[in-house]
Amino acid sequence: MIVENWMTKKVVTVEPDESLSEAINILKRNKIRRLPVVKDGKLIGIVTDRDLKEASPSKVTSLDIWELHYLMSKIKVKSVMTKKVLTVSPKSTVEHAAILMHDNKIGGLPVLENKELVGIITEHDIFGALITITGARHPSYRLSLVIPDKPGSIKEICDLMREFEFKCISILTTYENLRKGKRKIILRFQAEKKWATEIQKEVQAKYKNVVISDET
């Protein structure tokens, strides 16, 4: 999966000299949480709803409403934006974007192509990609087990299940928190209930730590 297939292409932006109050209004109107800051068509920063809240006067201030509006109209976006912006390209993988967001604790990444802003990918888009790749929206059974890490080990599972009538929806695999020589697979499949029961019996007879859940 690549970023260009999941990103939002119509990006709402703000200019660096825009006021804090207007930036907040833009976020509210568009129901978004971050604004790329663009000058002369080039990305120069990004500002989030948290940045704007932190820069806004406290609710316990002694200023009256008119003084507050005046103050917020004088504060510029460029004074609160993040200047060093992490970005990805349209051809970057969604997995790479997810790692950048996770490791840097951010919720979105501008997408640049030839230094031009062409989109933005957010945690919401990542969730959508995760739901799609796992097949989680399809009613199915979810089979989780640990198998030997050797050539053909996943095929052995599928061969074992093949004698029953089943349809594979997705297969995911990981090595996290396992000792060397082992891997974990999570397989989603569709089958009649009687076949799902037989599959569970056959798999549990050969492998340990088998967990099957009914998400039909």
Domain chopping of the chain, boundaries: 3-131, 135-215
Amino acid present at 183: R
pLDDT of residue 21: 87
Q: Tell me the pLDDT band of 216, cut-offs 50, 70 and 90.
A: confident
User: Above 90 in pLDDT, residue 75?
Assistant: no
Query: Which residues, 6 or more positions from 17, have their beta carbon under 8 angstroms from its beta carbon?
Result: 76, 77, 78
Architecture of 3-131 per CATH? Roll (3.10)
Other CB atoms within a 10 A radius of the CB of residue 91 amount to 10
Indicate the range of 63-67, 87-91, 127-131, 208-212 predicted with least confidence: 63-67
Mean pLDDT in the chain?
Answer: 90
User: Above 80 in pLDDT, residue 55?
Assistant: no
Rounded distance, CA 144 to CA 207, Å? Answer: 11
On whether the CB atoms of residues 84 and 51 are closer than 8 A, the answer is: no
The candidate with the shortest Cα–Cα distance to 20, out of 69, 83, 90, 63, is: 69
pLDDT of residue 209: 80
User: Above 80 in pLDDT, residue 84?
Assistant: yes
pLDDT of residue 63: 47
Q: For the segment 88-117, what is each residue's pLDDT rounded down to a tens digit?
A: 999 999 999 999 999 999 999 999 999 999
Burial class (CB in 10 A: 0-12, 13-18, 19+), 62: exposed
Task: Show the tokens assigned to 145.
Answer: 């087990």
Rg (CA), the chain: 25
User: Above 50 in pLDDT, residue 213?
Assistant: yes
CATH class for the domain made up of 135-215: alpha beta
pLDDT of residue 181: 93
Q: For the segment 145-200, what is each residue's pLDDT rounded down to a tens digit?
A: 999 999 999 999 999 898 888 999 999 999 998 999 999 999 999 999 999 999 98
